[in-house]
Structure 1
């Protein structure tokens, strides 16, 4: 009994590693998004928050596809570490550039394009790290996928808190905004260094020696154990999988099979694309630039984006105990959610006293439905396929989700006409 409790404790800690590493993968994205007031001040009339998803997600998809085709022989350990180190570099560039190369209130053309290049590089680093971590979680029981989807959203809450503190601690003058932004952008790299250290700690966890002694050397063995509960419990097999991955012992490269997988989950991947498309059509461009509040001023976009982040996390957390597994229901929900677009159009022309509460309410609904549906899709799509096709299912899901996000980011420019 004591041995079972110890192994269950190890499994819990290793699930926490997934939950703690995933915020590091997405932290650059949330750092840029929640710096909306800074970018609007430094680069007015550039629609930076509308450019951001295109510049970030374009390289993300390109690098992800490239690694899928050419880089699968590299261990997940190496890919996650490389991606996190790229993210650290990109977040260091912005405070250094602001502190030494921007002299006035406005950024220059050169600093604008450097910022764009940094965002693109951050997207590439995110693809390397997050794609690998998603692949890890897809091949293990759904509790690990849930840890991944919740952790990737938690970094948004963390950076929202940091942004509120740094902005509230300093005055709203240009110098106050500058100092606050330098502090804000400097905290991200420190957080990522902590994530790297935590990920490295897996090597030295007591569970490693135990699972090594069992001879669980690759994910193929783990899959067999997960499917054969008579041999070993699911918890032990799942923990062994994390241990094997952390040691860099990925399973032998399996051939990808897209046709059979796509036929099983075609409704789900279309649903995840529609869900991402709608969310990115409104977030972050509409919230940062289209709506305004004379009472909240520069706080308005930060609070709106923070509302989305918090409710998105809540929606993901709601799938902890139950996940809808009917494909037709999730598919219909993703299309029905498009009705939110009409309400956001109405909010632009809403009556003054109720306009701001209406936008906050719609943003909360947008966030919680996005989080819940995305979590359901992430958990269900790999589960609808045999374990040896989980990687193919994950790749298809991520590709459709990113394509939907890119289309939505392009459609967000239509709000400029409103």
Structure 2
């Protein structure tokens, strides 16, 4: 019996997931690779960091330019509207992408996201910010439409990236999540820098969006630079092969046993009880070294495993639903955890965080809040690389406990005239805790979930985790709208519509928010009367 190199590549040990010792014949791989190619200089890791940053640059650019949009559209909840539009459209997109993941190739989906981001950001900075070609109401609608378009492209890209990294070692999923946080830190830093360098807010916003567009183009180039590397193709081929993997099922007279040989692809067939002589055949050809009993091909039953997406019509849909159900049973704690984490985060960020006022920092307050959150989030995702001590149940418990951050941060806003926790230090500490916990608890489920399923389901697992991720974002954004109604009118400025608290009676502090002019005149009249009385005496 002869086996050539291609056929031998289809064999796998029973009960084992090939992950580290395998080989493939694709894109120039014509010889056996006994171990995975190395990630030289961590270039692949860096490319996925940039990939994670690339699909969030557009959203972060809109959010970090809130100071410009608040001046352009006064008295409107523009930050809440942009966040809600992005998240709702993203959720609908990720549902569609999860159902249609087998139709378009992974590379096509990622390229689609980059192209949509580049075109939309270029249109906004040119027509909206630079030329201001439309009226205020029309411009508001166009900007929301631009956010929706960006959400479609970036969500398809994001879901594809998580499916992409699910086929690689877990540290590359963590790289994408580090990139997401790095995107927030980078855009926050660029926004602070442009405000320092260019005092005119419209000019600084133009430069800010220009940097974002350049960053998206850089991420796009880096993705294409490494996607054909031996490292990437090695692991993708493993998972593609796993979808149609051949499993050998022995008969009663012959069995497959695992070997401790260093060389991959060696199968040994032995009689029961084992004899002193063994028959071995190694890739690429059968080369018996000693006389041994021969076996016929009929002694081994070969069964091919079909892909999840194999077949079409109702049968294909049914097979896909069954596969998703099996995946859900294996990873449901991680799905619940990721949903709760991003629900709590979107309840507070960026909406409520942008409503926290500081009479000392003024328009810098929301920018600093977001910079602190993004920096802490990046640190948390870097710490998530050591995720061995986390379990599914522990992640769920911590995610539930984290919901306490919602009332704590609300106390920094409510009541708007005189918040319960008015000192800036409270808001900064809560933003730090929110970001750090979001980084850790939002990354570990995405890292661990793909390792709980078979290789052939890894890409689908990444897409399903992204679905629950976006579900948490959507419900959190909707809840943020309800919380926003508790903070008061969007155009209310507590720094200009009330007197200093220490100069008023507590009861007058409340009345100041309603009748500021009356209290001012009353206080002035009282002061003059007291002065006149003292002069008379």
Match of 1:28 in 2: 58
Aligned to 2:370: 305
Distance 2:237 2:190 in 1: 41
Instruction: Say if 2:352 and 2:410, in contact at 8 Å, map to a contact too.
Output: no
Distance in 2 separating the partners of 1:41 and 1:276: 29
Instruction: Output the CA distance in 1 between the equivalents of 2:83 and 2:390.
Output: 30
| Distance change in 2, residues 1:82/1:188 (3 Å) | same
**How big is the shift at 1:325?**
3.1
In 1, distance between residues paired with 2:236 and 2:486? 58
1:388 correspondence with 2:453? no
1:216 deviation in Å? Answer: 8.0
1:243 maps to what in 2? none
Secondary structure of the equivalent of 1:90?
A: helix
Are the equivalent residues in 1 in contact too, given 2:167–2:235 (CA < 8 A)? no
Could you tell me whether the CA contact under 8 Å between 2:185 and 2:371 is conserved in 1? Answer: yes
Kindly report which structure 2 residues correspond to 1:8-407, keeping only aligned pairs within 5 A, or say none: 8-10=38-40, 12-97=42-127, 98-101=129-132, 108-171=136-199, 176-202=200-226, 207=230, 217=237, 219-221=239-241, 253=309, 256=320, 257-289=323-355, 291-348=356-413, 355-407=423-475
For structure 2, the 5+ residue unaligned runs are: 1-32, 246-258, 265-306, 311-318, 488-537
Contact map agreement 1:53 1:406 (CA 8 A) in 2? no
Q: In the aligned structure 2, how far is the partner of 1:313 from the partner of 1:281?
A: 19
CA distance in 2, matches of 1:215, 1:364: 37
Determine which structure has greater relative contact order: mean sequence separation of CA pairs < 8 Å that are 6+ residues apart, divided by chain length.
1
The alpha carbon displacement at 1:144 in A equals 1.1
More helix by share: 1
1:325–1:380 CA contact under 8 A, matched in 2: no
Give the CA deviation at 1:16.
Answer: 2.1
**Residue of structure 1 equivalent to 2:7:** none
Partners of 2:90 and 2:181 in 1: CA distance: 17
Most deviating of 36-45 and 8-17? 8-17
Give the Cα–Cα distance (whole angstroms) in 2 for the partners of residues 216 and 302 of structure 1. 40
Check 1:231–1:85 CA distance in 2 against 1; reply closer, same or farther (3 A cut): farther
The separation in 1 between residues aligned to 2:390 and 2:421, in whole angstroms, is 41
The superposition leaves residues 78-118 of structure 1 with CA deviations (integer Å, 9 ceiling, x where unpaired) of 21111101001111122112211258xxx611111110000
Give 1:167 shift.
0.7
CA distance in 2, matches of 1:217, 1:268: 27
CA positional deviation for 1:391: 2.7
- Residue 416 of structure 1 is matched in structure 2 by 485
1:304, distance to aligned residue in structure 2 (A): 0.4
Residue 345 of structure 1: how far off its partner (Å) = 2.6
**In structure 2, the residue corresponding to 1:46 is in which secondary structure?**
coil
Q: Mind listing any 5+ residue stretches in structure 1 that lack a counterpart? A: 233-250
How far apart are residue 60 of structure 1 and its match?
Answer: 1.5
What displacement does 1:218 show?
Answer: 5.8
Distance 1:323 1:136, change over 3 A: same
- Aligned pair in 2 of structure 1 residues 65, 137: CA closer, same or farther (>3 Å)? same
Change in Cα spacing, 1:80 to 1:351, as seen in structure 2 (3 Å) is closer
**CA distance in structure 2 between the partners assigned to 1:325 and 1:390 by the alignment:** 20
* TM-superposed deviation, 1:351: 7.0
Number of residue pairs the alignment of both structures matches: 383
TM-score by length of 2: 0.66
* SS of residue in 2 equivalent to 1:320: coil
Q: CA deviation at 1:354?
A: 6.0
Please tell me the root mean square deviation across aligned C-alpha atoms, in Å.
2.8
Aligned mates of 1:167, 1:77 — CA distance in 2: 37
Higher-Rg structure is 2
Please state whether the residue corresponding to 2:411 is helix, strand or coil.
Answer: helix
Following TM superposition, by how much is the alpha carbon of 1:65 offset from its aligned partner in structure 2, in angstroms?
2.2
TM-aligned CA distance change 1:386 to 1:203, over 3 Å: closer
Counterpart-to-counterpart distance in 2, 1:372 and 1:231: 39
Report if the CA contact (8 A) 1:324-1:330 is conserved.
no
